[in-house]
A = this chain, B = another copy of it.
Amino acid sequence: MSYVAPLKDMLFVMNELAGLSEVNALPNCEDATPETVEAILEEKAKFCSEVVAPLNHSADKEPSSWSDGKVTTSKGFKEAFRQFGEAGWQGVQHPVEFGGQGLPKLVATPCIEMLNSANLSFALCPLLTDGTIEALMTAGTEEQKSTYLTNFISGKWTGTMNLTEPQAGSDLALVRTRAVPQDDGTFKLSGTKIFITYGEHDMAENIVHLVLARTPNAPEGVKGISLFIVPKFLVKPDGSLGERNDVHCVSIEHKLGIKASPTAVLQFGDHGGAVGMLVGEENRGLEYMFIMMNAARFAVGIQGISIAERAYQQAVAYAKDRVQSRDLAGSAGAVTIIHQPDVRRMLMSMRSQVEASRALAYVAAAASDAGHHHADEATRKTNQAVYEYLVPIVKGWSTELSIDVTSTGVQVHGGMGFIEETGVAQYYRDARILAIYEGTTAIQANDLVGRKTSRDGGAVAKGIIGQIHKTETALAAGTGEYADDLQAIRKRLVDGTRALDDVVNYVVANIKTDIKGVFSGSVPYLKLAGVVLGGWQMARAALVAVDKLKAGEGDAQFYKAKIATARFYADHVLTQSSSLRAAVVEGSAGVLALTEEQF
């Protein structure tokens, strides 16, 4: 099944909702002109469709394999990754001084979406390298940057994140890997790391692990964790590769999905100690890793949108092709199943959630750009705070809905969806990891409740809610041919926003006195925020579409479809807000009532 990048929707969202022209006007974003951006997206779309997407299903059937410490990636991956690096795709959002293109996050985001739609397993390798680059940019020395970044950005080397240990998953306080200082300023690391994505593979000359470990006498818990660079091959002063380091892949996992992406168990220091270089200051490792994780969390949110888009495309194609049953409205003979109302409902459910989550993520990316580049410091701060509020929502909500959307994609196919050859079952399997890695949905939700809502007394959330009220006012003013749609959307958005406001008030008011009660509603709060903020974007999109149609500009069919999709989202998705509100504000009694023994 082929993949066609949804360039029209991507560009609509970038231009009309996320404000590409405002981003382009920011300092250091001058290169991101509409023409350049469109050209980049078209080129990336071509690469993804022609080179990467065709490897998706075959790689699932013949996953990466381990033998004697070495991992052979699926057929075609090595060559595709070479082309990826040579074309400069690793560097889209990274600094020009290290060979990148230095483009805004808003431009990098659709590029990442496309690569992940084409092949989630393949795209994970550059995704992790992106995180490594961000961490070294923030905390690395000039020497570390010059040694590693150019090689990352050219695609010669790749990066990994080494957090998890068998006893330390979500809870990094439990990390045990040891790092002992040596006379030459390096450290010797020993320990076991698990779930290391692309921890070993054959696509790059070198693999650079960023590893969390404890130095001797470090404090207990998360305040005693430091970050180290541990390259597979040590790098000589002249930049060439030296000795093999003492880090070895002892096995890879047998997984439900993303089978072509090798998930390694790495053993550090079994033969004398793996040589590591401290990044930044001792005991501040978690802080640096959070930089990497925040970038990765946003990207994993994009993965949710990507896999949902891919599933949607294949479901539409099948629904237009499969002939079965007559049209309810009364044709003779059998028709394609896209004529069946429930198939329509399923496709609209997929489509509307993909479009809403894409719009929210791109808007978040634009906020990140303004947060980094805006000339005015106060504006930078406001935008950065909005971005940080949105990151757990983009990550948690987009990935959770990707499970639902890919499941619906299977359902549209009926029995054929359950047969692996059809390919849609793979999306369902692949999607399932997204709500787990880089912090489970509960971890995202805890972040939303704690650092992002209660810490500032709900100020950022309230600021966003104030913005939504402006959209509600604009909807209320809607007249003409699409007034019914706009009023229906307004009604649902008003209800949803009120629910979100209630929940924010509840969280802020109760977190001190009833911490378990508040956290028992953290995931419903996250989902509510996603549903409402996604609905807000769909409402904004509908308003733009109505204006364009009135003005007679652009593709009328596209804008009409956008209005109908926003209407569907309002009546079928935004309506979930009352139930999610109840789960948070009135739902904790049932969550916490049982004793452990009663389970």
Q: How far is the CB of A223 from chain B (nearest CB, A)?
A: 14
A445 in contact with B342 given A583-B571, A583-B575, A598-B557 (CB within 8 Å):
yes
Residues from chain B with Cβ under 8 Å of A433 in the complex: 418
The A323-342 residues at the B interface (CB cut-off 8 A) are 323-326, 328-329, 334, 338, 340-342
**Residues on B with beta carbons closer than 8 Å to the beta carbon of A597:** 557
CB-CB under 8 A from A121, the residues of chain B are none
Q: Are A515 and B329 in contact (CB under 8 A)?
A: yes
Chain A 414-449 interface 0/1 with B at a Cβ cutoff of 8 Å (1 = within): 111111110001001100110111001110011000
Check A142 for interface membership: any CB of B closer than 8 A: no
- A451 — which chain B residues lie within 8 A by C-beta? none
How many Å lie between the Cα of A519 and that of B342 in the bound state? 7
Q: Are A411 and B436 in contact (CB under 8 A)?
A: yes
- A474 part of interface (Cβ distance < 8 Å): no
Beta-carbon contacts of A573-599 to B below 8 Å, as 1s and 0s?
A: 001101100110011111111111111
Chain B residues with CB below 8 A from A561, complex form: 594, 598
**A516 CB within 8 Å of chain B:** yes
Query: How many Å lie between the Cα of A515 and that of B328 in the bound state?
Result: 7
Contact, CB under 8 Å: A599 / B341: no
User: Using Cβ atoms and an 8 Å threshold, which residues of chain B touch A557?
Assistant: 595, 597-598
Taking the closest CB of chain B, its distance from the CB of A39, in whole angstroms, is 27
* Chain B residues within an 8 Å CB radius of A7: none
Complex contacts, A343 vs chain B, CB 8 Å: 442
- Interface stretch (choices A43-51, A344-352, A502-510): A344-352
Contacts of A488 in B (CB 8 A): 586, 589
Q: Given contacts A324-B170, A589-B488, are A411 and B441 in contact (CB under 8 A)?
A: yes
Bound CA–CA A169/B436 (angstroms): 35
Q: List chain B residues, Cβ under 8 A from A587.
A: 568, 571-572
The answer, yes or no, to whether A320 is at the interface (CB within 8 Å) is yes
A545 / chain B contacts, CB cutoff of 8 Å: none
Closest B residue to A560 by beta carbon equals B598
Question: Is B598 in contact with A569, judged by CB distance below 8 angstroms?
Answer: no
- Residues of B contacting A167 in the complex (Cβ-Cβ under 8 angstroms): 323
Asked if A567 is at the interface of the complex by the 8 Å CB criterion, the answer is yes
Cβ contacts under 8 Å, A440 to chain B: 411, 414
CB atoms of A590 and B569 under 8 A apart: yes
Q: Is A403 interfacial (CB 8 A cutoff)?
A: yes
Number of copies of this chain that the complex holds: 2
Known: A488-B589, A569-B590. A522 touches B583 (CB 8 A): no
Which of chain B's residues have a CB closer than 8 A to the CB of A342? Answer: 442, 445-446, 519-520, 522-523
CB distance from A405 to the nearest CB of B (A): 13
Known: A578-B578, A593-B567. A403 touches B414 (CB 8 A): no
Q: Is A31 an interface residue (CB 8 A)?
A: no
- Quick check: is A81 within 8 A (CB to CB) of the other chain? no
Are A254 and B421 in contact (CB-based, < 8 A)? yes
Minimum CB–CB distance from A31 to chain B (whole Å) comes to 34
A297-320 CB contact bits vs B (8 Å, 1 = yes)?
000000000000000000010011
* A485 CA / B255 CA spacing, docked (Å): 42
Question: Any chain B CB within 8 A of the CB of A164?
Answer: yes
Q: Separation in Å of the A445 CB from the closest CB of chain B?
A: 7
A460 to chain B: closest CB distance in Å? 22
Whether a CB of chain B sits under 8 angstroms from the CB of A174 is yes
Residue A202 at the chain B interface, CB threshold 8 Å: no
The answer to whether A257 has its CB under 8 Å from any CB of chain B is yes
Is A245's CB within 8 Å of the partner chain B?
no
**Bound Cα distance A411, B170 (Å):** 12
Q: Is A157 an interface residue (CB 8 A)?
A: no
A440 to B407, CA, bound (A): 13
Q: Are A590 and B576 in contact, CB atoms less than 8 angstroms apart?
A: no
A570, CB-defined interface residue at 8 Å: yes
A564 CB–B CB distance under 8 Å: yes
The answer to whether A173 and B568 have CB atoms under 8 Å apart is no
Whether B414 and A516, one on each chain, are in contact in the complex, defined by CB atoms closer than 8 angstroms, is no
* Contact status B593-A340, CB under 8 Å: no
- Interface residue A375 (Cβ < 8 Å from any Cβ of B): no
Tell whether A590 pairs with B578 under 8 Å between CB atoms, given A174-B324, A420-B256, A515-B328: no
Q: Which of A75-96 contact B (CB under 8 A)?
A: none
Task: Tell me if A171 is interfacial: C-beta within 8 Å of chain B.
Answer: yes
The verdict on A37 contacting chain B, using a C-beta distance below 8 Å, is no
User: Which residues on B sit within 8 Å (CB–CB) of A324?
Assistant: 168-171, 174
A545-575 interface code vs B (CB 8 A; 1 in, 0 out): 0000000000001001100110111111001
Known: A170-B325, A256-B419, A411-B441. 19 other contacts (CB 8 A): A173-B326, A174-B324, A255-B420, A338-B596, A344-B592, A345-B591, A407-B432, A410-B432, A485-B589, A557-B595, A564-B589, A564-B590, A564-B594, A567-B589, A567-B590, A567-B593, A569-B590, A572-B590, A572-B591
Q: Closest 6 CB pairs between A and B?
A: A568-B590, A564-B593, A341-B520, A342-B442, A256-B425, A575-B579
